[in-house]
Structure formats: C-alpha cells, structure tokens
Amino acid sequence: MLSIPINLPLPSAPRLVTSLPGPRAKAIVERDRAVTSPSYTRDYPLVVARGEGCMVEDVDGNVFLDMTAGIAVTATGHAHPEVVRAIQEQSARLLHMSGTDFYYEPMVELAEQLAIRAPFPRGKTEFPARVFFTNSGAESNEGAIKLARYYTKRSLIVAFLGAFHGRTYGAMSLTGSKAVQRANFGPLVPGVTHIPYGTHASLDYLEKTLFTTILPPHEVAAIVVEPIQGEGGYIVPEDGFLQRIREICDRYGILMVVDEVQAGMGRTGRLFAIEHWGVKPDIITTAKGIASGLPLGAILSRPELMTWPPGAHATTFGGNPVACAAGIATIRLLESGLMANAIRMGELLQAGLTELHEKFPCISLPRGKGLMVAVDLLDAEGNYDHKLRDRIIQEAFSRGLLLLGCGKAAIRFCPPLVINSEQVQTALDIISDVVKIV
Ligand code: PLP
C-alpha cells in the first residue's frame, strides 16, 4: 500500500501535478474495476489518499478543492484534528462492545447531546427525545418505518417522488428517485404511496383525492419527508409545505418522519434543517455528517413513541463507541462556529452563483440553505440539460474542483462546513472558466 507523508499541510487551493488520472490513480482504478461491484457510480477517477479541511490529495499528489464532503458527510472538514483526537483516544480505550447488549458512556453521552437538541415538543420527561443508533441513513429510515408501524399499529406510508431514503428494502421502498435503483429488485415493501414533493397542490391531492379514495388516512402510519430534498435536486419546498404536513399528520393521527440524513447536522446552518420552518416532527432520522465520516446514524423520536420492548429492534454495531466519540466532537465543533460559517459561506456561494446565472443563462438561479446549495444546468430553450451538467463536472475535476450532480440536471454544493471565502471564490472562478468552454 502506498504511504504519503501526512506531516505536510495541504495547500488551500487546487494544485495539479500530473495529468488526470495520474499513474497511481490509474493503476488503482484498474484494480478496482476487476474486483468491486459495478453498481458503484463514480463520475470521475478520483483516488483519494488523504484529506484536510476542504482539500483532498490524490495518490499522485494532486490536490483538489472538495465541494462534495464525500456526499455531504465530512461536516467538520476532512480529518478535523479534534475529531481525529477523539477517535484516537476512544479507539485506544474501547473499539466495540455492542450497545445492544451492554452499556458504555460515549453512546449515552451522544444520545443525551442529540436528545436535548431535538426539535420536539418539551414534555414531562427529562429529554424531549429517545435515540436509537444505526450505522447509516438507510438503516435509520428502515428503523423509523418499523417504529412508526409498531407505534401506530398502521401499515401505510406516504413518501415523495424524487425522494432518496436509502437502498435497503424498507428505505428503497420509500425512495422515489431513479428507476435504476428499483429495477429488478421487486417486490418491495408494500403500502408506500408516492406523491410529488414540495407543493401545496401535492398535499391537496393527498387529502382531497387519495385520502378519500384509495388511501384511508386512518391506516397511514407515517408521512416520510426530507426537509430539503437531497438527491432529488436540493429542492426547497414551497412555504408552508412542511407546516401543512404537520397539520395533516395531527388531523389523522399520522406520524411525521423527517429524513435529515443529508440536510441535518448543521449543513443548512441549523443542527436540524426542519428548525428553519419551526415544525416539530415526531421522528427524525439522521446519519451522514453526524460523526464527520465515521459510519453512524440515529433515529430520534418523541419519547412516548419508543414503546417497543427489548428485542424488538437492535443492531450489533450501531452506536459504536468510536463513532459516538466522533459524534460528540462533531456537535461541539458545529456549535462552536461551523454552523455559523455554513450560513455565511452559503450566502457568499449563492451570491456568486447568482452572478454566474446573470452571466451564463445555462446556469439557473441557485437554491438551498446554508451549505446545501444547487443550480440547474439548462439548454438554450431552458430545459434541463444533464449532459451539460455532466461535462461541467468532468471539466471541473480536470481543474481540481470536486463537484457532484443531483436531481435532473443539478450541480450540488455540499462542501465541508469549514470552507472559507477564498475557497468559495475559487470554486466559482473554476465554474465560470469551465462554463465558457463546455
Ligand atoms: N436519506 C437521505 C436524505 C439521503 O440523502 C441518503 C443518502 O444519500 C440516505 C437517506 C441514505 O443514506 P446511506 O447512504 O447512509 O444509507
């Protein structure tokens, strides 16, 4: 295995020293092709050796500005020293014991930290939430469906077209994103109805048409919704949409499950994105940014909902002590400046993208909150142009800027929350140069 000295800090802007992919990257990509599942979706041949803050270095010594955070995960930046220290200290003490059958303090402490911050009604209990730890977003949603069905004794679920909730059977059944994610995998979990996302017209259709014909509301256990649709294109819903879901849930005794896997953990400038709308859900699912890159997820519910008995739901690894230690350090960092930075840098980014939109009609106006921002790429007639989007992403890579697509033809910007204003400007400059030539 290749070892790269890690004592030298990375530059804060892209630095390319080989053509891309370089020789080492090329060799690793070839080895990968022979042995890993072809279902992975790599857009460009980036072979990462190390990361620091908002920058990553590949195995050939090329340095990239990362506007992806490893799909919206490394919230505190790559290898934040405080997160690394927490991981090192915890891993020297205890790697694993399984919170399902035993106790250890980091799991309790992280549960407390999350619970006191959960945007649920303050009730009679000491904490406004209970927490179940998982290893991923899909698992969090899987468990949330189980909890909703268990508590309500109802089976039906409403989810949204364009939503992404994960790829295990329950989570995949909620996902309404791309046909390839479902094709040949059926039958899926029954009882899920998808409606369009983000509009009042869709909620009218739910209440006035579906609830009065094929979907008896008193048999619906949950409405599962992303506060900002992630993979679907970083879609911010219409004003009042999330409040109205809350009202519908209250009217029919349905649980409101908010999937904060991508939007949560500080990315939008609030710990949970739903806080922007002041809506109090019943269940929140989270993962991705929660432990700055270690595999961890969580289901938070109002305390009275977790009535399931011992053995009803459990996991060997979920709430691993090392991941929990990283989670505790992550929350501390988010609250001591990174969420505030996400708001400031998000505003700068949206202002810069608005200028690009004014210069280049193929770039739509930006949308999003904090550092969850996207633009669509459009053809001369104003239609979505995913080929143009893909060319821009490729060309940006060849100039040292890492981007990811989402939705029909969007580029998403979900950098580590440590990004600074020079780096935001560098990303905008590269995109501007790229758009001129694609
Ligand atoms: N929910 C949302 C909103 C997501 O964006 C994702 C992943 O992109 C998931 C769930 C699934 O998370 P994981 O890939 O950790 O299973």
Residue with CA at minimum distance from ligand 1 atom 7: 166
Where are the alpha helices (H) located in 239-293, listed in sequence order?
A: 241-252
Q: What are the C-alpha distances in Å from 39 to residues 33, 35, 36, 415?
A: 11, 12, 9, 25
Query: Over 70: is that where the pLDDT of 302 sits?
Result: yes
**Residues in contact with 208: Cβ distance below 8 Å, sequence separation at least 6, in sequence order:** none
pTM: 0.97
Q: What does the pLDDT read at residue 5? A: 60
Which residues partner with 55 through β-bridges? Answer: 52, 65
Q: What does the pLDDT read at residue 123? A: 84
Q: What does the pLDDT read at residue 28? A: 98
Q: How confident is the model at residue 3 (pLDDT cuts 50, 70, 90)?
A: low
Task: For residue range 251-273, list pLDDT tens digits in order.
Answer: 999 999 999 999 999 999 999 99
**Cβ 133 vs Cβ 297: under 8 Å:** yes
- In whole angstroms, give the CA distance from residue 84 to residue 107: 18
Residues having CB closer than 6 A to ligand 1 are 136-138, 141, 164-166, 226, 230-231, 259, 261-262, 287
**Cβ 193 vs Cβ 157: under 8 Å:** yes
- In degrees, rounded to 5, the angle at the alpha carbon of residue 191 between the alpha carbons of residues 310 and 39 is 85
Q: Choose one of 288, 296, 404 to mutate for the ligand 1 pocket test, by most ligand atoms within 8 angstroms of C-beta.
A: 288
Considering the domain delimited by 99-307+314-333, tell me its CATH architecture: 3-Layer(aba) Sandwich (3.40)
Q: Choose one of 68, 136, 164 to mutate for the ligand 1 pocket test, by most ligand atoms within 8 angstroms of C-beta.
A: 164
Using the atom order of ligand 1, give the atom closest to the CA of residue 168: 16
What are the extents of the domains in the chain?
99-307+314-333
Q: What does the pLDDT read at residue 124? A: 84
Ligand 1 centre to CA of 137 (Å) is 5
Q: How confident is the model at residue 377 (pLDDT cuts 50, 70, 90)?
A: very high
Query: Over 80: is that where the pLDDT of 384 sits?
Result: yes
In this prediction, residues 418-436 reach a mean pLDDT of: 98
**Cβ 198 vs Cβ 226: under 8 Å:** no
Query: Over 70: is that where the pLDDT of 137 sits?
Result: yes
In this prediction, residues 214-240 reach a mean pLDDT of: 98
Using the atom order of ligand 1, give the atom closest to the CA of residue 71: 8
Query: Over 80: is that where the pLDDT of 185 sits?
Result: yes
Q: And the tokens for 127? A: 């904490």
**Cβ 374 vs Cβ 412: under 8 Å:** yes
**How high is the mean pLDDT of the chain?**
97
Tokens 């609830």 -> residue = 211
Question: How many percent of the chain have pLDDT more than 90?
Answer: 97
Question: How many percent of the chain have pLDDT more than 70?
Answer: 98
Nearest to 116 by CA among 272, 306, 333: 272
Nearest to 246 by CA among 118, 372, 121: 121
Phi, psi values for residue 67, rounded to 5°: -100, 20
| Dihedral, 219, 221, 225, 231 alpha carbons, nearest 10 | -90
Query: Over 80: is that where the pLDDT of 274 sits?
Result: yes
Q: Choose one of 261, 274, 285 to mutate for the ligand 1 pocket test, by most ligand atoms within 8 angstroms of C-beta.
A: 261
Ligand 1 centre to CA of 377 (Å) is 24
Q: And the tokens for 122? A: 């303050």
